[in-house]
Structure 1
Amino acid sequence: EMIFRGTDTVAVLIEWVLARLVIHGEVQTRVQAELDTVVGRERSVTASEAIGALPYLQAVIKETLRVHPPGPLLSWARMSTLDACVGGGNLVPAGTTVMVNMWAIARDPTAWPDPLRFDPGRFLAPGGRAAEFPVMGSDLRLAPFGSGRRSCPGKGLAMATVELWVAALVHEFEWRTPSDADVDLSEVLRLSCEMASPLTVTLRRRRRELA
């Protein structure tokens, strides 16, 4: 369980982020411009620069978590202890297994305007600063790590890992599809909600190592 949750979900999320950057070239360009401003092109990204210091990259990762949550069902083994009526009179009998469908919440237009549109700007405040929108469980519109006492204990490490790896990969390379082919965003649920067709790209180095 620790190996699965600590590696598979992070790797899947990184692939989804890169896929979205390939599709939305203007988003990739803006992430790279942010990196060039903070880091420059003379050296590699450091952890202190990548983690928590790149508001637009953080917004891209949050928007990817919204659209492509690696764990779409947050609770696999919760049980209703009492009969309950939800959603305008729908009965949930005692003993029913209940799961939180984060995938559906993220596509609910009452929670997210135009929910199928990929828009990192949802998580930016005026002036390009990071908006106060946590993903650690306090706002249930986007709680990919769960909420409360049973939330993922590695959520901070997971977000830091994704921020650092995506920052490094996008700082070093331009990401494109071969011959401008389309990226297949079809999903398949295995251990995590993965890309059904693995991302295939061509890379062009952006940064030259100094001698």
Structure 2
Amino acid sequence: MFDPSGVEKRCDNLVPRVRKLVSEIIDEHRKSLEGCERQLGDTGDFVDVLLSLKGEEKLSEDDMVAVLWEMIFRGTDTTALLTEWAMAELILHPKIQSKLRAEIDSVVGSTGSINDADVAQMPYLQALVKETLRVHPPGPLLSWARLSTDDIQLSNGMVVPAGTTAMVNMWAITHDDSIWSNSEKFNPARFMVSEGGVDVDVRGGDLKLAPFGAGRRVCPGKNLGLVTVSLWIARLVQRFEWGPVDSSPIDLSEVLKLSLEMKKPLAAAATARNCV
């Protein structure tokens, strides 16, 4: 005989497990460097290549460390942090969360399996990820610092003197009210053409929002990162309704480490929508 209370009990048990899992995923991504260093040390493949470079291609030890950190942190830490920022904004904006869930349900239903092809049919989800990248760029200072070897004349008349260390401050660009109207407001609709917004290419095609950089040094994992984060968010929102935890209110304060992190890690309550 079917026992509804048994299903409800399994759902109740699932919610804290999901909360714990999401927290563990974020923590594991943040701590991935140590594990990756051990793995590289055991197999030696990529490190061996770096060590084997000769002549003009030979890298200093500092350069090799920079390459490894860039590869590991920009490839894992940023995706976890972007997901965390997006979920925080969805909890703070329940109407946006409901609108996103409605889009997901219209494409795959409330229990269907979501894949990258489905993500391509979810423009609001893509707009949400873009808006999260704008308001909370995981890498606010693009790439490593550059040193000008000569005086550089910019098109706006400014001169960058030789010996100047320069970095691109993407955070400042994405929070500039002369570029973005109501820049402090979280509003995915600004990227929805159907709602009067503009479809901005975040993969380096438009420098007013280039969280992955642009040109020759653009992030090679940009497409994978976008799809990964989109899938994570879609699956979390499809199966659960997310809300705040009274004892730990959401704090959007930022702290810049290797990436832009939440000063106070996200705590959220997940309510299962379906359990079969």
Structure 2 match to 1:173: 240
Query: Letter of the aligned partner of 1:46 in structure 2?
Result: N
1:75 touches 1:98 (CA, 8 Å); kept in 2?
Answer: no
Structure 1 match to 2:76: 7
Deviation of 1:4 (Å): 1.3
The two structures have a TM-score, normalised by structure 2, of 0.70
2:254 touches 2:261 (CA, 8 Å); kept in 1?
Answer: yes
Structure 2 match to 1:75: 143
Structure 1 match to 2:173: 105
1:171 touches 1:207 (CA, 8 Å); kept in 2?
Answer: no
Structure 1 match to 2:213: 146
Of Structure 1 and Structure 2, which has the larger fraction of its residues in helix?
2
1:29 is the counterpart of 2:29: no
**Per chain length, whose mean CA-contact separation is higher, i.e. which structure has more relative contact order (CA < 8 Å, sep 6+)?**
1
Deviation of 1:95 (Å): 1.5
Which of the numbers 136, 139, 164 marks the counterpart of 2:203?
136
Decide whether aligned partners of structure 1 residues 202 and 97 sit closer, same or farther in structure 2, where only a CA change above 3 A counts.
same
- Identical pairs, percent: 53
1:137 touches 1:145 (CA, 8 Å); kept in 2?
Answer: yes
Decide whether aligned partners of structure 1 residues 42 and 13 sit closer, same or farther in structure 2, where only a CA change above 3 A counts.
closer
Structure 2 counterparts to residues 87-98 of structure 1, below 5 A: 91-98=159-166
Which of the numbers 129, 149, 158 marks the counterpart of 2:225?
158
The two structures have a TM-score, normalised by structure 1, of 0.91
Query: Letter of the aligned partner of 1:150 in structure 2?
Result: R
Any runs of at least 4 consecutive aligned residues in structure 1 with deviations exceeding 6 A, and if so which? none
Deviation of 1:166 (Å): 0.6
Q: Deviations over 1:62-88 (max 9, x none)?
A: 000000000000132212232245597
Q: Deviations over 1:28-62 (max 9, x none)?
A: 00000001111112333233213x22100110110
Moved more, 64-73 or 82-91: 82-91
List alignment gaps of at least 5 residues for structure 1. Answer: none
Deviation of 1:91 (Å): 4.3
Q: Deviations over 1:130-169 (max 9, x none)?
A: 9531100110000000000111000000001001111011
1:182 is the counterpart of 2:249: yes
Q: Deviations over 1:68-125 (max 9, x none)?
A: 0000001322122322455976542111111000000001111111111111111001
Which whole-Å CA distance do the structure 2 matches of 1:141 and 1:189 have between them?
21
CA-based RMSD:
2.0
Structure 1 match to 2:133: 65
1:123 is the counterpart of 2:191: yes
1:55 is the counterpart of 2:94: no
2:189 touches 2:195 (CA, 8 Å); kept in 1?
Answer: no
1:35 touches 1:54 (CA, 8 Å); kept in 2?
Answer: yes
Which whole-Å CA distance do the structure 2 matches of 1:37 and 1:78 have between them?
47
Larger Rg: 2
